[in-house]
Structure 1
Amino acid sequence: MILITLLIFTAAIAVATFLPLWQNPHWSVRSFDFPRLQIATLAAVLIIIQLLFLDLAQPVSWLLVFVAALSLAAQLWWILPYTAIWPSEVKNAPMKSPERTLAILTSNVLTPNRNAPALLKLVQEHQPDILVTLESDQWWEDQLAVLEGEMPYTIKCPLDNLYGMHVFSRLPLHESEVCFLIEEKVPSMHALVELRSGDKVRIHFIHPAPPSPTENDESTERDVELVIVGRSVADSDEPVIVTGDLNDVAWSPTTRLFRKISGLLDPRVGRGFFSTFHADYRLLRWPLDHLFHSRHFTLASITRLPSIGSDHFPLLTRVVLAPTYGKDQEPLDDDSDDRSRARELAQEKGASKQDVPHPGE
C-alpha cells in the first residue's frame, strides 16, 4: 500500500515537473510553469518519505527515489538563479546619484479593491518617480488624481475589464503612446522618461493576458506580446526598461526567451524571488510583477511592499543609470533556435516588432 501511494505521488511530481517541457501553449500545460518552488518543496519531502518508508532492498524503490530526485533537480535548475546562492546578474549601484536614479513602483491594484488610501500612503512614503498601476478602472483613476499635483505627467487608459492601466510620473514623459499590440482590449504603454540629469530612457509598461480557463485558453497572446516587445528593444542602443505584470513567472521558458532576445537584465537574479502574487496565500506565491532593464543600469534597491488589499503586492525598484560601470553585465545568451522560436510566435499572430512604438528613435 505504501509503495502504491508513493508511486502515485512520484508520478504526479514527475508529470508536474516535465510536462512544461512540452511547448504546448494550452493553459493546462503552461500553468505548471508557475509553482516550481512549491513542487520542488514537495519533491524534497517526497524523497525523505521514500527513504524512510520504502524497502530500499528493492530496485523499484530506488527507481522512485531517482525519479523524485531528478524532478527536484529539474525544478531547482529553474528557480536557483532567484536565490542568494546565485551570482547577481545586475551590479549594485556604486554610489548614490539622485539625478540618474529612477524609482518605479509597479502595482496591480485589483479592480474591485477599494483600498486606494493604502497605495497613496505607499507613494507618499517611498516617493517613486513613476507609479504604474495595472487593473485600474475609472474609479481608481479618480482616486489617484490627487497625485497629479506632484506627479503631473500621466498616461491613462481606464478599463473595467481587469486590463486598465495608468502611469503617474514626477519626471517628464515624452512621446507617450497607448497601444493594443495583440488583443484589442489589452493595452500597453510606451514613452521616453527624462531623468533629472537630462538623460532619456525608453520605457514600456505591459500587462498581457494570462493563459487560464477564464481568460485565454492558450498562452500564445501573452507570449507573442513579450516576444515582439523583446525583439523591439533588442534593436536599441539606448537605455531601456520594460516593466509590469507579465502574467508569467520569472523562470518560465517564455520569460527566459524574452530575456534572451531582448538582451535585458533581471535584477532579481542572485537576490531573491520577490514574489508578488498571491498576496493572500503565503504558500502559493510566485513572481508575476517584473522590471527588466538594459545594461545601462545598476541596482540601488528592489523591494516588495506591503499589501494594499489587492491579490498582488506592489513592487518598488530603484535603478541607477551607470552605462560605463554596467557595460560588462551579461544577459542570457540567445542562439538561432531562440530567434527562430521568437519569429514563429510573432508570425502565428501576424505581429511584428514594428508594431511596438520606438520612442526616441
Structure 2
Amino acid sequence: MMASAAYAVLFVLAVLLVFLTALPRLHSQAWWVRVWDFPRPQIAGLLALTLAGLAALGDPGRWAHLGILASGGLALAAQLRRIWPFTPLHAVQAQPAARCAAGQKLTLLTANLKLRNSGAERLLEQVRRTNPDVVFVVELDASWADALEPLKRDYPHHLVHPRADFWGMAIYARLPLVDPGVQFLLESYVPSIRTGLRLPSGAVVAFHGVHPKPPTLFGHGTVQRDAELLLASRAVGCGPRPAVLAGDLNAVAWSRETELFMREGGLMDPRIGRGLFSTFPAGWPWFLRWPVDHVFFSGEFRLLRLARLPDIGSDHLPLYAELCLDPDGPQTQPVPSRSRAAARVIAAGRGEAGTPP
C-alpha cells in the first residue's frame, strides 16, 4: 500500500516536472513562463531522482509507466542540454591566457549590494583581498555611497549614481575613465553606466554596467529586461572594441534570451566550459543558486581567472574576473548580428515602457 502511494506521488511529480520543462519553450515573456528558465539544474536533479524512484517501484509493463519514463527522460535530456555548456565537460568559449603582457591586464569585481544591506565592511574586505582595477556595484543608495567613500582613496576615478530605489549604481576604478556617463537605454527610470577604461598600456576598453528591471510577481514579465539587455548588447556590438559588460542581469546564463543577447553583441561567457558560478540567492545552499550576475566580454580578451567571492551580506554573491587583452591575437568570437527576433523584443520593450522606437 505504501509503495502504491509513493508511486502515485512520484508519478504526479514527474508529470509536473515534465510540464515545467516544456513551459519555457512557449514564446511568451510572461513571468510565470520565464521563471522556469531559472531552476533548470534543480528540475533536472528532481527529474533524475523521480525517474529512478518510478523505475524502482513501477511495473514496466504498464503503458502509463512506460510513457512517464519516456517523457521524463526526454525532459531530463532537454534540461541537461541547456545546462551542459556550463560544465567542465563542454569546451570553453573564452580561451585561457597563458601569460599577459604588461599593462594589458584588467581585473573587475561586480556586486549587487542589496539595498537594505548595511554591512559595507565585508565588501570592502573583498575589495582589499582581490585588489581589482574596477569595482562595479548596483542597488547603491545614499547610505551605501557614504559607506563606500573609503574606496575613493585607492580608486580615484569613479562615477556614483545613488538612488533611493533598486536602481542606483556606481563604478570605482584605479584606471582613468574615458567619457563616463549614466545612460537610460530603454526608459528614463532604469540607468546603466557606460565608460571607457584606459589600461596602463594605453589601450581603451569600453565598459558597460547594467542592471535591468526584473520580472515581478503579478506585474510585468521579462519584456523590458530583455529589451534593455539587447539594447546594451547592440551598443557593445556597434561601439568601440574591446568591450566588457557586467552586472546583475536578472537573467540566467543558459536562457535563450541570454544567448540572443550574446549574439547581438558578439560577447563571450567565461562560464561556458568552466562551471555555473551561481551567485543568487546567496543565503541558499550552493545547489539551489542560479547564475544571474555576469561578466561578458568581446573576443579581444582571454581569461586569466573567474571566481565567485564569499558572502558580503547581500542576497547576491560578488563575481570577480581577471582578463587579459589580446595576448596572442583575437580569438574566435560570436559575430555581432541584428536579428529579427531581437528587433521584435526591443520593439515590445519600448512599447511596454512607453518610449518611442
Question: Shorter-chain TM-score category?
Answer: over 0.9
- The code of the aligned residue for 1:233 comes to V
2:130 matched to which residue of 1? 126
Q: Determine if contact 2:185/2:232 at 8 Å carries over to the other structure.
A: no
| 1:294-309 to 2 correspondences below 5 Å | 294-309=298-313
Q: 1:316 aligns with which of 288, 309, 320?
A: 320
2:75 matched to which residue of 1? 71
| 1:86-235 to 2 correspondences below 5 Å | 86-213=90-217, 216-235=219-238
- The code of the aligned residue for 1:113 comes to N
Of residues 56-65 and 80-89 in structure 1, the stretch that sits farther from structure 2 once superposed is: 56-65
CA deviations on 1:168-202 (whole Å, 9 max, x unpaired) are 00000011110122233321000000001100001
Q: Is 1:280 aligned with 2:293?
A: no
Could you tell me the TM-score, scaled by structure 1's length? 0.92
- Alpha-carbon distance in structure 2 between the residues aligned to 1:173 and 1:71: 48
In the TM superposition, residue 59 of structure 1 has moved relative to its aligned partner by 2.1
Give the share of equivalent positions with the same residue, in percent: 35
1:266 matched to which residue of 2? 269
- Alpha-carbon distance in structure 1 between the residues aligned to 2:56 and 2:115: 48
- Alpha-carbon distance in structure 2 between the residues aligned to 1:14 and 1:318: 39
Q: Determine if contact 1:296/1:324 at 8 Å carries over to the other structure.
A: no
CA deviations on 1:6-60 (whole Å, 9 max, x unpaired) are 3311211011111001121111111001000000000110110111011012122
In the TM superposition, residue 162 of structure 1 has moved relative to its aligned partner by 1.3
The ranges of structure 1 where at least 4 consecutive aligned residues each deviate by more than 3 angstroms after the TM superposition are 1-4
2:37 matched to which residue of 1? 33
Q: Is 1:243 aligned with 2:257?
A: no
CA deviations on 1:313-361 (whole Å, 9 max, x unpaired) are 0110010001643x23233x788xx70010111122448xxx9xxxxxx
* Aligned-CA RMSD value: 1.7
Provide structure 1 residue ranges, at least 5 long, that are not aligned to the other structure: 356-361
Secondary structure of 1:118 counterpart: helix
In the TM superposition, residue 278 of structure 1 has moved relative to its aligned partner by 0.7
1:43 matched to which residue of 2? 47
Secondary structure of 2:109 counterpart: strand
- Alpha-carbon distance in structure 1 between the residues aligned to 2:191 and 2:114: 16
Secondary structure of 2:103 counterpart: helix
Provide structure 2 residue ranges, at least 5 long, that are not aligned to the other structure: none
Could you tell me the TM-score, scaled by structure 2's length? 0.93
In the TM superposition, residue 229 of structure 1 has moved relative to its aligned partner by 1.4
- Alpha-carbon distance in structure 2 between the residues aligned to 1:143 and 1:6: 51
In the TM superposition, residue 66 of structure 1 has moved relative to its aligned partner by 0.7
- Residues 221 and 350 (structure 1), Cα distance of their counterparts in 2 relative to 1, 3 Å cut: closer
Q: Determine if contact 1:89/1:266 at 8 Å carries over to the other structure.
A: yes
Q: Is 1:257 aligned with 2:260?
A: yes
- Alpha-carbon distance in structure 2 between the residues aligned to 1:99 and 1:183: 37
